[in-house]
Structure 1
Amino acid sequence: MKPYADRLPTAIRQLLTDILVVLWIYLWIRVALWISDTVEKLAVPGQKLESAGAGIADNLADAGGKVGRVPVVGDELTKPFSGAADAARAIADAGQQQQDLVGQLALIIPAIAVAVPMALVLFLWLPLRLRWMRRAGVAAAVRDDPAGRDLLALRALAGRPLSELSRLGPDIAQSWRAGDADAVDALAELELRSLGLRTR
Structure 2
Amino acid sequence: MVREVRSGRMRIYAERPGRAGLQLLADLLALGWIWLTAFVARTVHDFVLAMQGPARTLAGAGESVRGAFDDAARTAASLPFVGDDLARALGAGTGAGESLVAAGQEQMEAIARVAFGTTVATVVLGAMPVLFVWLPLRVRYAQLAQSAVTARAVDSDLLALRALTRRPVRQLMRVAPDPATSWRRGERPVLHALAALELRSLGLRAPRTPPD
| Structure 2 contact 176–190 (Cα < 8 Å) conserved | no
- 3-state SS, counterpart of residue 12 of structure 1: helix
Q: 2:92 aligns with which of 72, 76, 83?
A: 83
Q: Percent identity?
A: 40
Measured on the aligned residues, the alpha-carbon RMSD in Å equals 1.4
Q: 2:14 aligns with which of 5, 8, 27?
A: 5
1:98-133 CA distances to partner (integer Å, 9 max, x unpaired)? Answer: 111222222221111011121321222112101101
For residues 52-131 of structure 1, the aligned pairs below 5 Å read 52-131=61-140
- 3-state SS, counterpart of residue 198 of structure 1: coil
- 3-state SS, counterpart of residue 72 of structure 1: coil
Residue in 2 aligned with 1:156? 163
Residue in 1 aligned with 2:188? 181
Q: How many residues align?
A: 198
- 3-state SS, counterpart of residue 175 of structure 2: coil
In structure 2, stretches of 5+ residues that fail to align are 1-9
Matched, 1:171 2:178: yes
Report the CA distance between 1:142 and its aligned residue: 2.0
Q: Please, what TM-score do these two structures have when normalized by structure 2?
A: 0.88
In structure 1, stretches of 5+ residues that fail to align are none
Q: Which amino acid aligns with 1:135?
A: L
User: After alignment, is 177-186 or 43-52 more displaced?
Assistant: 43-52
Q: Please, what TM-score do these two structures have when normalized by structure 1?
A: 0.93
